[in-house]
Amino acid sequence: MQDANEHSPGAEAHPVPATVWQRLTGMFFTLGTVFAALRHQPDFVAPILVMALLTAGFSVFFTVWVKVDPREVARRAIERQLESQGKRWNDLSDTEQRQFEQGIEFSAGLQRFAPLIGIGVSVLATLALAGVYYLGMLLARGQATFRQVLSVTAYATYATDGVKYVLNILIILLRPPDVEQILKARGSFVISNPAPLLPESLPGWMLAAVSWVDVFSLWFIVLMAIGLAAVAYRKTPQQMAIIPGSLWLLGLLGSVVFALVTGGK
């Protein structure tokens, strides 16, 4: 029995990328062809390696270019947390202040290992996410191996996060952020959802919900739907979209519930 995915229009229109470079660049120009190739030749090492290098490189670049003391960032983060509780640093007891000071020193010390930590988190996150998508594939009765699902996840992550890293670097080069901007950015200086544009006085659950209506998140859902359909047997992107779409919805609901319980922003 022949696989219907082998004769898709996208697969016939372009030659199957034979090199790593063709696959990496193809994610922005001929992604249907790349995903079709991953069905027959799964490849997750290249995109994971590129993401690891980007993560480490961005960490080093940020430390060198942005002249901000990590202790100052950690201290201001604690002060903002206290302010949300109606407190100030001087309101803390001597014991509480010492505990926070120890936390600040520990946080600052971790910055020396930020590139290695970033690489580890990047790799583990990709593996964990692929595991969840593979479980979703089984529940949707899609016939694909974990290696194929991991390859699709790695390439989709590389495309979306790679673009985000490049944009963040450009923004930092144009205008290095200060402490307040670093804390408000929450890891990304790219405004890709409405949350940063809304007043911080809004309820935390509302800001949490809006933050999930993100350009990169929606792009990732589309990529995963197309990719999973390409490696699965007789599945369409519309059928596979329920897997990343459901995970996105669970993440949104989880963030809202967490904000409601903790009262956080």
Confidence of residue 1 (pLDDT cuts 50, 70, 90): very low
Long-range contacts of 42-45 (CB under 8 A, 24+ apart): 42/145, 42/147, 42/148, 42/150, 42/151, 42/231, 43/151, 44/126, 44/130, 44/147, 44/150, 44/151, 44/153, 44/154, 44/155
Cα dist. 246→125, 127, 210 in Å?
18, 19, 17
13-70 pLDDT, tens digit per residue, is 444 556 888 899 999 999 889 999 999 899 999 999 999 999 999 999 998 898 888 8
119-146 pLDDT, tens digit per residue, is 999 999 999 999 999 999 998 888 899 9
pLDDT of residue 81: 78
